Amino acid sequence: MCGIAGFIDFKKRSDKETLLKMSDTVRHRGPDDSGYEMLTSPFANIGFGFRRLSIIDLSPAGHQPMHFEEAGLTVIFNGEIYNYRELKKELEGFGYSFHSGSDTEVILKSYAKWGAACVEKFIGMFAIAIFDKNNDRVVFFRDRAGVKPFFWYWKDDLILFGSELKIFSKHPEFRKDINYNALSLYFQRGYISAPYSIFENTRKLLPGHFLQIDLKTKDVDEKKYWDVVDCYNQPKLNISYEDAKSETEKLLLSAFQYRMIADVPVGVFLSGGYDSTAVTALLQKHSSKKIKTFTIGFEDPKFNEAEHAAQVARHLGTEHYEHICTYKDALDIVPEWADIYDEPFGDISGIPTTLVSKIAREQVTVALSADGGDEIFAGYPKYFNAMARIGQIEKLPHFLQHLLAKVIPASADHDISIQNKRSKFKDYLCAGSEVKKFDIISQAMTFFETQQLFNNEIQYLNTPFDEGNSLNNANDMLSKFQATEYKTYMVDDILQKVDRATMHVSLEGREPFLDHRIIEFASRLPTNFKYRNGIGKFILKDIVHEYVPRTIMERPKMGFGVPLESWLRKELKGLLLDVVNEDTLKQQNIFDTAQVLKIRDSYLQGKITEFQRLSYLFLFQLWFRSWN
């Protein structure tokens, strides 16, 4: 795992000193080695910067930027190509020779052989930048699921790119102008959906896409090479449940074992839930050594899964590490929040994720996480709750729904410390797909409410939630929810959380459930293999029960969180009042000050029922104080 940074400056203002500053901003992503090179082009100054966390081929032969002089290629790369050994053998059959044992060199030779189509051969997580000197081109790639982040900025003949937004702040030409439309997305959902970013002229490369920059013409062309929607739109499999279960387990084992490939110690985050237990159980079953597992707990039983994780670890025989965190441990992360998540980010479970990453880093350099299981195998209760609510409302004739949407008035003077149920219901009735209905049900604030929150005029931005009709009629409502969240909540919340938390402590986080072969198969399974008799993740749970008894596994689902709601009334009240106060709000001139103070004061008086509104404001203000 590494951090990459760079620029393409058509006005040739950028120099190596700037490149060094940009790259070293993410030293935490790669403390083991660094590389900074200005690349030769008649059309632009090109800088490739790199920070290395050595995982595969720890020798200097794995240094980046890496060159393939014969083909005029240079690469920097963040991530892992897990099937690099197989690709290496294939390329050797075509006459290519290798000078290292790294997957980076395999990327170079693969691009030389197959061009941009090489990305379709990769099994892995990656953000890749390649300078193709012979064709006057720079190409950026992002992995299918979006495990690895990739930001890019394009203004005034200057392209900046990198693994984290903080990189750009070190370039003197970068302008930190807030994109208020994107900020509205944050207040709706707690994250900013790709391709948007908190800053103007700054974007996230979409998962499953690559970006080509023609250095002669300055043309920028973003192309899709993979989309989970295409997987779901394939014909469903005609397969027995037992055959599906057997094939699912084979795919899981292959994906899990691929992610154990490393030249450094590897461990697993174990919460004791079905997803992390599946990873641990299959790996331990097929390993001659004890797998290292890590969990954290809290003294408050509402947030403590440590006992359950320890019980699973004992049954499977892992080498288990447990750390019970005090609330001081968790509170100490809050001042670091804006540095870890350098874009407004509302998922407070990033705190325990950072803590467990710190504990794991004392023993290993790589840790496997179990994210994606809920999206792939239908595990979130919110899916089933939304299906029930939509089913109830759909009992109303459609003509009556349309009539209600027309006659329900907007509330121009609504107090947004309280949910505007009328506005939410109106949005629901106007929604054009089941997916959009699900989005509206799940939102912390409606778009209409964010318009009331901001002083500036806000424009609506389309996201995959507005593309629900791209999923064909072979997909039922649950499948549509799963496919859309694979492209939204999973990538822009869950994966961002894990990437920043692990990289903050120089730990490589790997996501074994996000091997694309798993979703390509699972998306075609009949829904009742995944959701049956009110039970989500049915087939995955059935597999886990082959390794761990039901009596250990079956318990209510727990979130991975911390009690921020009580902290902001007690331990963090001073910080809340410091960052959410009248003088600061008026100076910012972003929000309607009166509305924000209503939200804050309603919370402090114990009246507010929509705590996410307050927490998103608080976390945004922490970010704003650090980055503006």
Element (H, E) at 172: none
The confidence score (pLDDT) of residue 562 equals: 78
- Residue pair 56/66 in contact by the 8 Å Cβ criterion: no
Asked whether residue 39 is assigned to any structural domain, the reply reads yes
Residues 6+ apart with CB under 8 A from 9: 44, 45, 46, 47, 157, 158, 159
Positions annotated as catalytic residues are: 2
pLDDT digits (tens, 9 = 90+) for 353-400: 999 999 999 999 999 999 999 999 999 999 999 999 999 988 888 888
Q: How far is CA 277 from the centre of its chain?
A: 21
Work out the burial of residue 554: count CB atoms within 10 Å of its CB; fewer than 13 is exposed, 13-18 middle, 19 or more buried: exposed
On whether both 141 and 188 belong to a single domain, the answer is: yes
Rounded to whole angstroms, the maximal C-alpha distance in the chain is 73
395 within a domain of the structure (yes/no): yes
Residues 125-181 pLDDT 10s:
999 999 999 999 999 999 999 999 999 999 999 999 999 999 999 999 999 999 999
Tokens 């009240």 — which residue? 573
Edge-to-edge order in the sheet of strand 319-325: 319-325, 292-298, 266-269, 366-368, 508-510
Q: In this predicted structure, what is the pLDDT of residue 418?
A: 85
User: Using an 8 Å Cβ cutoff, are 37 and 62 in contact?
Assistant: no
55 in Cβ contact with 262 (< 8 Å): yes
> What pLDDT score was predicted for residue 298?
79
CATH number at residue 357: 3.40.50.620
357 and 393 together in one domain: no
Among 173, 207, 226, identify where a domain stops. 226
Same domain, 45 and 192: yes
Q: Domain check: are 98 and 205 in the same one?
A: yes
Q: What is the pLDDT of residue 467?
A: 93
pLDDT per residue over 197-212, tens digit each? 999 999 999 999 999 9
Is 558 inside any structural domain? no
Label the pairing between strands 266-269 and 366-368. parallel
In a domain, 164, yes or no: yes
CATH code, domain with 133: 3.60.20.10
Confidence band of 559 (pLDDT split at 50, 70, 90): low
In a domain, 273, yes or no: yes
pLDDT digits (tens, 9 = 90+) for 400-454: 888 888 888 766 667 888 888 888 888 898 898 999 999 999 999 999 999 999 9
Q: Could you give phi then psi for residue 502, rounded to 5 degrees?
A: -70, -45
What is the percent of the chain with per-residue pLDDT over 70, rounded to a whole number? 98
What pLDDT does residue 440 have? 95
Residue 560 has pLDDT above 80, yes or no: no
Fill in the amino acid letter for 615: S
Q: Which residues, 6 or more positions from 618, have their beta carbon under 8 angstroms from its beta carbon?
A: 568, 576, 579, 580
Measuring CA to CA, which residue among 88, 50, 578, 589 is closest to residue 335? 578
Mean pLDDT for all residues in the chain: 94
pLDDT at 411: 64
Of the candidates 127, 119, 130, 53, the one whose C-alpha atom is nearest the C-alpha of residue 83 is 119
Domain boundary residue, one of 434, 449, 483: 483
Same domain, 245 and 198: no
Residue type, 13: R
95-128, pLDDT tens digit by residue?
A: 999 999 999 999 999 999 999 999 999 999 999 9
110 and 203 in a single domain? The answer is yes
H-type alpha helices, 318-418: 327-331, 337-340, 350-361, 373-377, 381-393, 398-407
E strand spans, 227-365: 266-269, 292-298, 319-325
Whether residues 344 and 441 share a domain: the answer is: no
Q: b/e map of 574-593 (b: 16 or more CB within 10 Å)?
A: ebbeebbbeeebeebebbeb
Structure confidence at residue 412 (pLDDT): 61
Cβ-based neighbours of 429, under 8 Å, separated by 6 or more: 401, 402, 404, 405, 408
pLDDT confidence of residue 377: 98
pLDDT band at 458 (very low <50, low <70, confident <90, very high): very high
Q: Are residues 317 and 460 in the same domain?
A: no
**Which residue type sits at 514?**
L
Number of domains in the chain: 4
Look at residues 345, 273, 279 and name the one whose alpha carbon lies nearest to residue 306.
Answer: 273
Q: Using 50, 70 and 90 to split pLDDT, how confident is the model at 557?
A: low
Residue 539 pLDDT more than 90? yes
Residue-level pLDDT at 313: 97
Question: What's at 242, amino acid-wise?
Answer: E
Residue 559 domain flag: no
| pLDDT tens-digit readout, 300-328 | 777 677 889 999 999 999 999 998 888 78
Residue 315: domain span: 230-378+487-553
Strand 124-132 and strand 220-224: the pairing is unpaired
Choose the final residue of a domain: 427, 460, 483: 483
Per-residue pLDDT reduced to its tens digit, 1-60:
689 999 999 999 999 999 999 999 999 999 999 999 999 899 999 999 999 998 988 888
Tokens of 134: 């012979």
* Helix or strand run (H / E) with residue 99: none
Residue 213 has pLDDT above 70, yes or no: yes
**Rg, Å, the chain Cα set:** 24
Q: Do 461 and 493 share a structural domain?
A: no
Between helices 84-93 and 103-114, what is the axis angle to 10°? Answer: 50
- CA separation for the pair 227, 209 (Å, rounded): 9
pLDDT band at 299 (very low <50, low <70, confident <90, very high): confident
- Are both 169 and 304 inside the same structural domain? no
3-state secondary structure of 257: helix
pTM: 0.95
